[in-house]
Structure 1
Amino acid sequence: MEITLDMSKGALDTAKKVYRGELTRTEGKIEINRRTGMNEGSAQDFITIFLAMMSGKVYKRAFNNATNKFLLESIRQEFGDESYRKALKAVQQHIDYYSTLGKGKLTGLQRIIDQMKRL
């Protein structure tokens, strides 16, 4: 099943609850599934990616470019420039990791990151 931008928008509030410690990851993935229809595996990945962005750590699961851009924009608006810089770092690390797998390069995501770094 394709993860739509609407699903991602519906999942963000739940991912923030997990970040704040209000829900466990398991509770979060179940809530995202119930609220958006995203399957639980993808919901778990969504939470993992959001938490990695918030901490500036590499993540290894891929999501579509629209979701990545939405998360970056949301983090900047809601959490400020320091968190935004961490999120950009996490995405860059993800791009670098992915390029080592021999599956190609995430050129579209790299363009988004390069553009957002200039903002």
Structure 2
Amino acid sequence: MKITFEMSEAAYEIAKKVYSGQITRTEGKIEINKNTGMNEGSAQAFITIFLAMMSGEVYKRAFNNETNRLLFESIKRDYGKEYFIKALDASQKHVNYYSTLGKGNLSGLQSIINEMRS
């Protein structure tokens, strides 16, 4: 199933509740699934990627570029420049990681990162 922009918007709001400790990752995954129809595996990945972005850590799963852009813009709006930079750093680490897998590169995501940094 394709993850739509609307699913990602709703998932972001739930992932914020996980980040703030209001709900657990498991509760968040279930809530995303229930509210958006996103499967639980993708919902878990969404939360994992969001938490990695908030801490500046590498993540291993990928999302579509529309979702990546939503995450960057939402983190910048809701958490400020420091966390926005961490999100860009985490995504750059993801691009670098992905390039070692021999499956090509994430040129679309790299373009978004470059655009957002300037």
TM-score band, normalised by shorter chain = over 0.9
Residues 1-119 of structure 1: pairs in structure 2 closer than 5 A: 1-118=1-118
Work out the number of aligned pairs and report it. Answer: 118
1:82: how far off? 0.3
Q: Specify the code of the residue in structure 2 equivalent to 1:92.
A: Q
Identity rate, percent: 67
Q: Distance in 2 between matches of 1:37 and 1:59?
A: 23
Q: Distance in 1 between matches of 2:93 and 2:65?
A: 15
SS in 1 for 2:70: helix
Q: Distance in 1 between matches of 2:87 and 2:108?
A: 17
1:37: how far off? 0.5
1:77: how far off? 0.5
Q: Distance in 1 between matches of 2:66 and 2:51?
A: 18
TM-score of the pair, normalised by structure 2: 0.99
Q: Specify the code of the residue in structure 1 equivalent to 2:85.
A: R
Q: Specify the code of the residue in structure 2 equivalent to 1:85.
A: I
Q: Distance in 2 between matches of 1:114 and 1:11?
A: 25
1:11: how far off? 0.7
1:104: how far off? 0.2
| Structure 1 segments of 4+ aligned residues over 3 angstroms from their partners | none
TM-score of the pair, normalised by structure 1: 0.98
Q: Distance in 1 between matches of 2:77 and 2:103?
A: 33
Q: Distance in 1 between matches of 2:75 and 2:42?
A: 20
Q: Which runs of 5+ in 1 are unaligned?
A: none
